Chains A and B, each alone.
Chain A
Amino acid sequence: MAVLEEPVKEIKDVKNYINGEWVESKGEIVDVVNPANCKTIGRVPISTKEEIDAAVAAAQEAWPDWRRTTPLARSRILFRLKDLLEENFEEISRIQTQEHGKCIDESRGETRRGIENVEVACGIPTLMQGYYSEDIAHGIDEWVIPTPLGVFGIIGPFNFPWMIPLWSAPYAVATGNCVVIKPSSEVPLSQMKLAELAEEAGFPPGVWNVVNGGRTVVNGMLDHPDIVGITFVGSTPTGRDVIYKRCGETGKRVIAQCGAKNFMTIMPDCNVDRTVTAMMTSFFGNTGQRCLAAANAVIVGDDDAFYRNFVDRVLALTSNIKVGYGLDESVQMGPIRDKAKKEKALRYIETGLKEGAKLLLDGRKVDIIGDYPDTCFIGPTIFEDVRPDSRVGSEEIFGPVMSIMRVKTLEEAIEISNANSFGNGHSIFTSSGKSAREYHYNILSGNVGINIGIVAPMAFFPFSGMKESFYGVLHTQGKEAVRFFTESKVIIQRWF
């Protein structure tokens, strides 16, 4: 199968997008490297405090006029953006594969999911309508208006470089706010493309800003008095101890979507064929680098024959996963984003062995399709007999590692799932409605799958999370995002 053409052919110098201008940064420059072939495809600045301050100032200045732009006019710009995203769908997708490593089907999926958020935000004239009560007392009426707040910071992760800022940005600007987006410095190119298209769509200068960088930019957002709120997707330590904490200290609204360790419960009455296929995507999709990836397969029941047959089926399918460059259409699993992340996953494999888990499939040995260095590649890995309280069974690995556990009952499966500190995307595979109900009623997880391995909410539903997977109250996407980006202004009126 031929490798699809790369859209980024030369090293791209990434600039900041501030106040409608593409601005060079004075900060240190670091390379953006394609993890599949290890070629440098971009150079991105680690922007300075002055640069984030300039972006916030531009956004703050743009805000009064943007707020006064009618919701219908704002939505028309979003409709134009939606059209441009469709026109550039394939290029956007391939850029993601180049910068991140994910397979082209996964990148296209990411593009589609991002566009869906723009589509939902296009409905802002009705989405942000308030409500009205006549005669709350004689001659007195009361109503509520969702009103925008100002400038929001959006901090994106490396694993879904293009889509995740779109869980927030379309709703923020649709409701009349201005945004400053900080993409992950590892994968900034698809966000640059998005900013180019946002500019073409016609957002006025200062409404949509992008500042590349690292901690300085994040701290600049957290400390800036004109930033009224932040959305963040990333690790739990950063989300909890830095973003959530500092937003609390500085009085900012916050959505902090964090880490995960998702348990997939497999009942003996499941549809085995469909479950096993779903497991491939859930455990190994995006090379395990997603907060909705399943990590632990909890097989329920004391039927040894079922257990052995099921595990054998999983092993057989996993052993045939084609690993390589995501622009090769035959490839099912790409590389891990970078060498350090690969080494972290490898250390967990070592840890699993030390903890006494049985290694059924060793991803340390990997056959790569095509002539690519193995720097960032790791194969799918399966452990059996993993204890839920072991490190491999309880900590987020963020790599293609499946840990198989066995329990006797559904109650036990729910108990070990709930004992984990995370609660992001647990799921059950069963043909029993009773088991499914018992599961979703009792499981402590923000997103729950019933015969769905990746519980990714559609754009018109909130992307939820519980326990150490989420800090905040409202969530990104859909109506909750509209509420997050607006304050309820209540008006009580009487005329004499």
Chain B
Amino acid sequence: MELNTASSVISLAREMEETSARFYESLAGQYPASEEMFTGYAKENRKFIKQFETAYYGVITDAIEGCYAFNIDPDKYQLNTELAVGAAVAEAAGKALEIEDSLVRFYTDAAEQSKALLADVPRAFTLITKKRTAREEQIKALQ
């Protein structure tokens, strides 16, 4: 089902960030050489949650189109975090890139759709997109 309300999209974003944070935490345990990087990603994911929640709770008012802000199909941004036991770090990096790609697409779409409605929220989404794009370059180096 498509998500239209700001509340549902914020919840989806939170859920995706938590899922990918848990994925990175598990990678940190599996690949000691990249532990610091993966742990950092997990921490940063939770910062992202705070960032967009602060934006949302700060600007949401009854006067704006909060219930009609989005047209997001969550199926388009499914995160597959399954990784075979003993997989090489390059394989893990490939999976991480898929996750990052989904999240970048999600935040790009969400920022575009909410642009005129909730001033600070699209800005928060765009900033997260930028940081994630930079993250993709680091992950590619593991491949």
Contact = CB atoms under 8 A, between A and B. Distances in A.
A245 to B, nearest CB: 30
Interface in A102-117: 103-106, 108-110, 112-113
A333 B66 CA distance: 11
B117 to A, nearest CB: 8
Given A274-B116, A332-B68, 4 more contacts: A1-B11, A103-B5, A277-B117, A330-B1
Given A1-B1, A277-B68, A286 B62 contact: yes
Contacts of A333: 67
Nearest to A89: B57
Contacts of B26: none
B8 interface: yes
B5 A105 contact: yes
Contact of B7 (A105, A160, A277, A280): A105
A331 B5 contact: yes
Contact of B67 (A89, A103, A160): A103
Nearest to A1: B8
A278 B65 contact: yes
B104 to A, nearest CB: 23
Interface in A187-225: none
A113 B61 contact: yes
Contacts of B67: 103, 105-106, 280-281, 285, 332-333
Nearest to A449: B63
Nearest to A86: B57
Interface string A445-468: 000000010111000000000000
Contact of A329 (B8, B57, B60): B8
B64 interface: yes
Contacts of B6: 105
Contacts of B65: 277-278, 280-281
A358 interface: no
A329 B53 CA distance: 15
B66 A105 contact: yes
B126 interface: no
A281 B4 CA distance: 12
A322 interface: yes
Contacts of B64: 109, 281, 454
A1 B60 CA distance: 20
Contacts of A280: 65, 67-68
B63 A452 contact: yes
Given A108-B7, A322-B4, A330-B1, A454 B68 contact: no
B66 A109 contact: yes
Interface string B51-73: 00000011111111111100000
Given A105-B5, A329-B8, A330-B8, A456 B61 contact: yes
B89 interface: no
A124 to B, nearest CB: 23
B127 interface: no
A331 B11 CA distance: 14
Interface of B: 1, 3-8, 11, 57-68, 116-117
Contacts of B62: 106, 109-110, 113, 160, 285-286, 290, 454, 456
A104 B11 CA distance: 12
A72 B4 CA distance: 44
Given A106-B67, A280-B67, A332 B61 contact: no
Contacts of A103: 5, 7, 67
Nearest to B56: A108
A113 B64 CA distance: 12
Centre residue among A108, A322, A331 by max chain B CB count within 10 A: A108
Contact of A332 (B4, B11, B60): B4
Contacts of A278: 65
Residue with the greatest number of chain A CB neighbours at <10 A, chosen from B3, B6, B7, B58: B7
B57 A112 contact: yes
A494 to B, nearest CB: 51
B68 A281 contact: yes
7 contacts: A1-B1, A1-B11, A89-B57, A330-B1, A330-B3, A332-B67, A454-B62
Nearest to B74: A1
A1 B11 CA distance: 10
Contacts of B58: 112
A109 B1 contact: no
Nearest to B68: A280
B60 A105 contact: yes
A109 B8 contact: no
Nearest to B5: A105
Nearest to B62: A109
A252 B6 CA distance: 43
Contacts of A286: 62
A341 to B, nearest CB: 19
Nearest to A330: B8
Nearest to B117: A277
Contacts of B11: 1, 329
B44 to A, nearest CB: 24
A274 B3 CA distance: 18
A278 B66 CA distance: 10
Contacts of A89: 57
Interface string A145-170: 00000000000000010000000000
B57 A330 contact: no
Contacts of A317: 68
